[in-house]
């Protein structure tokens, strides 16, 4: 017999709670499987929907408040105003009626009666405007009673007005104080009732508007708080759904952990990324295991090759060293010969330039001599011109002396004329003025001739100095011509000597070139021997470097593999999932440099 123990049946509220948990889990699973784009768009749509709801509530509330305010103003406040104005017109009409009864003349009574009629007309206008507004049933009933008594009051009033105009005060007062008074009291009572009804409805509208505004504000605040909470919840949920698995993925990549698996059943982009990462890890893990095994085999083979090539490299290195020493000696001798040849060539070139410079100098000296001869001729001509200028200055001086004598004589004549004019008295006064002007002119002429004479003297002195300087310049020009002639002769001798030196240096350079060609042939032969030795040495060195590169590569591979977390079950590659697409296979994009480092393929 089987016995069932410790079985707990779920029922009642607990079963409902369990069902709610299952339903909530299904909803979360459905939300997680949505794409990130759909998650973000749905979250923003919900937030936008809440914002739109808040705006719609605010708009509806404001429209309701505006409608209530319009009704309050148009259908209640304005009617209260019109009813109040109508009541005031009735009171004014009653006062004017009493004034008409108190008047003693027909004209005054007629004016008051007209005022009474005008007041009743205005009251009718106010009442007509009130009747056009929205009326509740209580207003309609009260207004009907008002109209009934108002009609009776107007009937009594129409009977009083002719009596008042006819000066029948007793009959008129009997009507006014009798039935007319009673009807007027009822009319005013119903007007007050209408005003109270409108005041009560206006208060109700105001209370309703306040309540609507308060309810709208509370609803907006509630929806706003709910929207903020929903936005925060959506933000946290979306961030957790996306950030947590991505952080796990980043941690696995940073730690080079190839053993962890997500094995997710999510259908969104994060789940696809996790599944792709699992496939990538399986593929790279299998590849790394194979690389580890291959690196161990390569390390063993490279060690054997390295030991075999060391001896071969040593022999080739010794042979290359000896050939290098011979080639170095021959090359040094060749350099010396070539240096001598270059020096001889430089000397020949220098001698050639010296000869050319000497020839140029001779030509310059010849032109200088010709120029000095021309200068001498110009200076001599200038000296003759200055001498002629001196002679002209002497002639001008003689002319100035004659002018000075004439001025002195003119001065004496003017003095004599002044004396004669003084003797003549008043009759010679005009002649005295002319004589005085002539005297002043003679004095200015004498002064000017003295100044010109001084200037002519200075010109004559300067002319003599210029003539002497030109004579001295002519003499120095003659001396320069003689020295230039001697320099030209010396330069001609230098040209001849430079030509002989150039010929000798050219012969030396040709001999050095022939010797350099012979040493070049020797160097070429030695270089051929050295090249063969170098090729042999380079071949062995390349083999040695290749083996060293392999050793360093295997060490680098082992170091890199040590950075990955590989469990023991992956040694034979069994950790790779079967059925994984080959698209995850990784092809190496690295090569080994001469220093043994990993570099990109060219």
Note the pLDDT tens digit of each residue in 544-573. 676 677 677 777 766 766 665 655 454 444
**How many Cα atoms occupy the beta-carbon half-sphere of 191 within 13 Å?**
25
The answer to whether the Cα torsion of 176, 177, 182, 187 is positive or negative is positive
Tokens of 277: 């990462």
Note the pLDDT tens digit of each residue in 422-437. 777 777 677 677 778 7
Q: Say whether pLDDT at 9 is over 60.
A: no
Q: What is the pLDDT of residue 171?
A: 83
Q: What is the pLDDT of residue 347?
A: 62
Note the pLDDT tens digit of each residue in 441-474. 777 777 777 777 787 777 778 777 876 776 777 7
CA 287 to centroid of chain Cα atoms: 50
Portion of the chain with pLDDT greater than 70, in percent: 63
Mean pLDDT of 536-542: 65
Q: What is the pLDDT of residue 584?
A: 38
Residue 122 DSSP code: H
Let me know: does 122 contact 93? Beta carbons within 8 Å.
no
Let me know: does 210 contact 169? Beta carbons within 8 Å.
no
Q: What is the rounded distance in angstroms from the CA atom of residue 370 to the CA atom of residue 380?
A: 16
Burial class from Cβ neighbours inside 10 Å (0-12, 13-18, 19+) for residue 390 reads middle
- Domains defined for the chain, CATH in brackets: 16-246 (1.20.120.30), 272-557 (1.10.287.950)
Per mean pLDDT, which range of 190-194, 312-316, 320-324, 576-580 is the poorest? 576-580
Q: What is the pLDDT of residue 445?
A: 77
Is the model more confident about 62 or about 49? 49
Tokens of 44: 């923003």
Backbone angles phi, psi at 9, to 5 degrees: -85, 135
Closest CA to 146 of 201, 200, 76, 193: 193
Q: Give strand pairing partners of 215.
A: none
Mean pLDDT of 63-79: 76
Q: Say whether pLDDT at 574 is over 60.
A: no
| 45 — pLDDT class (breaks 50, 70, 90) | confident
Average pLDDT of the chain is 73
Residue whose tokens read 């590849």: 287
Q: What is the pLDDT of residue 602?
A: 47
Tokens of 110: 């007629």
Note the pLDDT tens digit of each residue in 103-124. 878 888 889 888 988 988 898 8
Backbone angles phi, psi at 4, to 5 degrees: -95, 125
531 Cβ neighbours under 8 A, 6+ residues apart = none
263 Cβ neighbours under 8 A, 6+ residues apart = 278
Let me know: does 32 contact 165? Beta carbons within 8 Å.
no
422 Cβ neighbours under 8 A, 6+ residues apart = 428, 432
Let me know: does 180 contact 157? Beta carbons within 8 Å.
yes
Backbone angles phi, psi at 454, to 5 degrees: -65, -40
The answer to whether the Cα torsion of 281, 287, 292, 295 is positive or negative is negative
């Amino acid at each position: 017999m089987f016995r069932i123990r410790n079985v707990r049946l779920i029922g009642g509220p607990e079963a409902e709670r369990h069902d709610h948990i299952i339903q909530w889990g299904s909803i979360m699973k459905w939300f997680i499987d949505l794409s990130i784009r759909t998650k973000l768009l749905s979250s923003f749509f919900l937030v936008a929907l809440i914002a739109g709801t808040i705006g719609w509530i605010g708009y509806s509330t404001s429209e309701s408040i505006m409608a209530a305010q319009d009704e309050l103003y148009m259908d209640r406040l304005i009617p209260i105003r019109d009813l109040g104005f109508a009541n005031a017109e009735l009171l004014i009409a009653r006062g004017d009626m009493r004034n008409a009864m108190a008047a003693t003349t027909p004209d005054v009574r007629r004016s008051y009666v007209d005022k009474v009629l005008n007041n009743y007309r205005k009251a009718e206008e106010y009442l007509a405007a009130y009747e056009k507004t929205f009326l509740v049933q209580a207003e309609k009933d009260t207004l009907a009673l008002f109209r009934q008594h108002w009609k009776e009051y107007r009937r009594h009033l129409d009977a009083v007005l002719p009596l008042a105009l006819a000066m029948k005060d007793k009959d008129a007062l009997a009507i006014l104080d009798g039935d007319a008074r009673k009807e007027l009291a009822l009319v005013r009572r119903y007007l007050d009732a209408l005003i109270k009804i409108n005041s009560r409805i206006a208060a109700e509208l105001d209370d309703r508007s306040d309540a609507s505004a308060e309810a709208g504000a509370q609803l907006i605040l509630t929806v706003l708080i709910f929207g903020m909470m929903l936005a925060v919840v959506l933000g946290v949920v979306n961030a957790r759904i996306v950030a947590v698995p991505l952080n796990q993925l980043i941690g696995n990549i940073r730690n080079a952990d190839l053993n962890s698996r997500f094995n997710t059943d999510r259908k969104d982009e994060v789940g696809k990324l996790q599944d792709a990462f699992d496939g990538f890890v399986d593929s790279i893990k299998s590849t790394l295991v194979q690389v580890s095994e291959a690196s161990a085999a390569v390390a063993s083979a490279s060690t054997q090759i390295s030991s075999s090539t060391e001896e071969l490299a040593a022999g080739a290195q010794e042979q290359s060293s000896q050939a290098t020493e011979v080639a170095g000696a021959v090359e040094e001798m060749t350099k010396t010969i070539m240096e001598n040849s270059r020096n001889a060539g430089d000397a020949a070139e220098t001698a050639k330039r010296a000869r050319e410079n000497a020839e140029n100098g001779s030509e310059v000296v010849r032109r200088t001599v010709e120029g000095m001869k021309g200068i001498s001729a110009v200076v001599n001509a200038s000296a003759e011109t200055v001498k002629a200028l001196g002679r002209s200055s002497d002639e001008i001086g003689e002319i100035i002396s004659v002018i000075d004598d004439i001025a002195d004589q003119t001065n004496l004549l003017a003095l004599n004329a002044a004396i004669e004019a003084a003797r003549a008295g008043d009759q010679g006064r005009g002649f005295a003025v002319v004589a005085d002007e002539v005297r002043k002119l003679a004095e200015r002429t004498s002064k000017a001739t003295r100044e010109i004479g001084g200037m002519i003297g200075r010109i004559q002195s300067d002319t003599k100095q210029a003539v002497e300087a030109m004579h001295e310049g002519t003499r120095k020009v003659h001396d320069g011509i003689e020295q230039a002639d001697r320099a030209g002769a010396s330069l001609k001798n230098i040209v001849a000597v430079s030509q002989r030196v150039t010929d000798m240096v050219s012969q030396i350079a040709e001999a050095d070139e022939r010797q350099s060609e012979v040493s070049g042939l020797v160097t070429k032969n030695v270089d051929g021997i050295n090249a063969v030795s170098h090729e042999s040495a380079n071949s062995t060195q390349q083999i040695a470097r290749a083996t060293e590169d392999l050793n360093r590569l295997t060490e680098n591979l082992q170091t890199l593999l040590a950075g990955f977390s590989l469990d023991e079950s992956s040694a034979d590659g069994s950790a790779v999932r079967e059925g994984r697409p080959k698209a995850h296979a990784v092809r190496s994009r690295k090569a080994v440099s001469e220093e043994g480092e990993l570099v990109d393929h060219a």
